A and B are shown apart, each in its own frame.
Chain A
């Protein structure tokens, strides 16, 4: 088993509230792992610990064998792409400038940047004429495509998506899910996706990690969860999203 990211005994609490109990987790290279669970189960916390927005109270996070710490996090972040629900696009920059921000910061040649931009636009099916628009001039779905382009701009080893489609209407959402699946497969991208939608998890994930109350409850495919539930919570969670569970 070839794991890109490992959490070893990682825990995090906010005051008296345990966001993540000591946890062992591994994320396989080239695969999409989905973290799923009810609100507040700790799935976003895992992502934020990996990208260094949070520091663990105990344990270590390692990426490609490197332990994440204060001195290497800035460099490691350049090997990761991070997309959040509302995109986190910078409103004062055009789509193009948002996507190329880091490449320019690292002084990569502008001609390379332009060809990379064209590649990304094609990959994410983003209309080229939209590149000179500001986020405020784009639809919600287009904004998420720009966020994805920005996350992919430096060809990251690891893509982290925190409910990237959460705020989109169902039609747009379905179209983006199809496109994401195609992109991940084409790139062989190691991806960690956080969602609360079981259908999305089943559609995109090679592996599903179900969490509750700061703990990992069960890992595996949808059929594992359905046929061999680890406990009553798994069944309850699946039943709550009946449409998928009954399929």
Chain B
């Protein structure tokens, strides 16, 4: 009996020690998924295990799940909290909201930085044709067909109060799924729908947001709601997200998520600092920034260079044998080189698997780095004199041994020169990676160009030039270390 009790206590202790993962919920739309993924990443970076329960439904389901402790965290909007959860007839300040939710053991994080309010949207062509700019303008067009989400139809800050406030009484108002609504709008089956102001589709479908001229929509500042009982480090990790996402950045993250259908990837973009539009992390010193840019820059260059070497040398070996395949290899790698780097990046972005990421930058740099390596490998091998080749054959060395022990070492100097050319080109070209959010020394150069700020440009340009010189020197040193002495006589 006693031992059973001890076992029980021990078991309980072990269960408590192996901390339960923090459950994160999300509503069934892109932004909510992305924010939940960001929270998950932030928690795991802080050392807290977490799980993401994707797309659990609408506000009430999520709120009930949080209140009852089935989930511990989910992203929410201040307006929704006031209207839907606290059912307040008037707008509430964040402090009031905090005080109200604290009563049920729920805390509200600091505002993430963007306001995702409701808006009514129309196609640009339709709005211009009917000369509609504001929601009030809709009154003059009773024949307009409305297609709004079911949630918007029934919300306290949704369709009915809006229609009352603006005195709209259209005969045709349909509830329609959010995603399908955009399609319906595009095909002209409806004229007006509700949307969120950070929705990626607004840009994608070329829609216009109607001005809320009577100031009906409340503020929908994004926050995380979380159980007061979650552990302090998880709490701290969530609070650290405060003020880090503005509207353009959120639209970008949403667009990335919708394009790739991969919410974790969009969240990754947030952590990789994929947006230069957001204010740089507060208080980051120049040294810290330079370290971050340079290490990223080197990372992009080194990975792409390594790939170019691994692929380029074998291609060069094949190309050195001439024939149709050899010509094709040289022609294709040369053709890639003629594509302007900016265009190459732009071409890769819409390709699945690439998108707005370091991966795309690495792929582009790899393609650029290929030609010098392939060409120099081929030339270096072709330049080996016939008597040397025949001597190697006549000795009885196998083809593989001839390549490894004789031909490649003899061509090594030319090959290394190709790798050097490729590395220097890549250091320069990698500054363009910032255009697709891949970071590196292009980040200050591009934001400096946008701001017409020479000091910022130089913060990127000078280190990039220094890096290029260092790469030159490194390769000169490698030449001395790696190239057999007999070839340098």
Interface, chain A (partner B; CB < 8 A): 51-53, 74-75, 77-78, 80, 82, 84-94, 101-102, 105, 134-137, 150
Contact = CB atoms under 8 A, between A and B. Distances in A.
12 contacts: A53-B393, A74-B398, A78-B396, A82-B394, A84-B390, A90-B388, A90-B406, A92-B484, A92-B487, A102-B397, A134-B485, A137-B489
A87 B385 CA distance: 12
A239 to B, nearest CB: 33
B392 A90 contact: yes
Contacts of B171: none
Contacts of A134: 484-486, 489
Give the dominant DSSP class at A's interface: loop
A87 B391 CA distance: 8
Contacts of A77: 393-396
Contact of B391 (A84, A94, A105): A84
Interface residues of B, number: 22
A86 B412 CA distance: 22
B401 interface: yes
B251 interface: no
Interface string B460-489: 000000000000000000000000111101
Contacts of B410: 90-92
A92 B387 contact: no
A105 B397 contact: yes
Contacts, number: 67
Residue of A77, A90, A94 ringed by the most chain B CB atoms within 10 A? A90
B326 interface: no
Nearest to A92: B484
B399 to A, nearest CB: 10
B277 interface: no
A72 to B, nearest CB: 11
A90 B486 CA distance: 9
A134 B392 CA distance: 17
Nearest to A104: B405
A134 B398 CA distance: 24
B395 A91 contact: no
B297 to A, nearest CB: 35
A70 to B, nearest CB: 13
Contacts of A90: 388, 391-392, 406, 410, 486
B409 interface: yes
Contact of A74 (B388, B391, B396, B489): B396
The 4 nearest A-B residue pairs measured at CB: A88-B391, A134-B486, A136-B489, A77-B396
Contacts of B392: 88, 90
Contacts of A53: 390, 393-394
Nearest to B388: A88
Given A53-B393, A93-B484, 4 more contacts: A77-B393, A84-B391, A90-B486, A101-B397
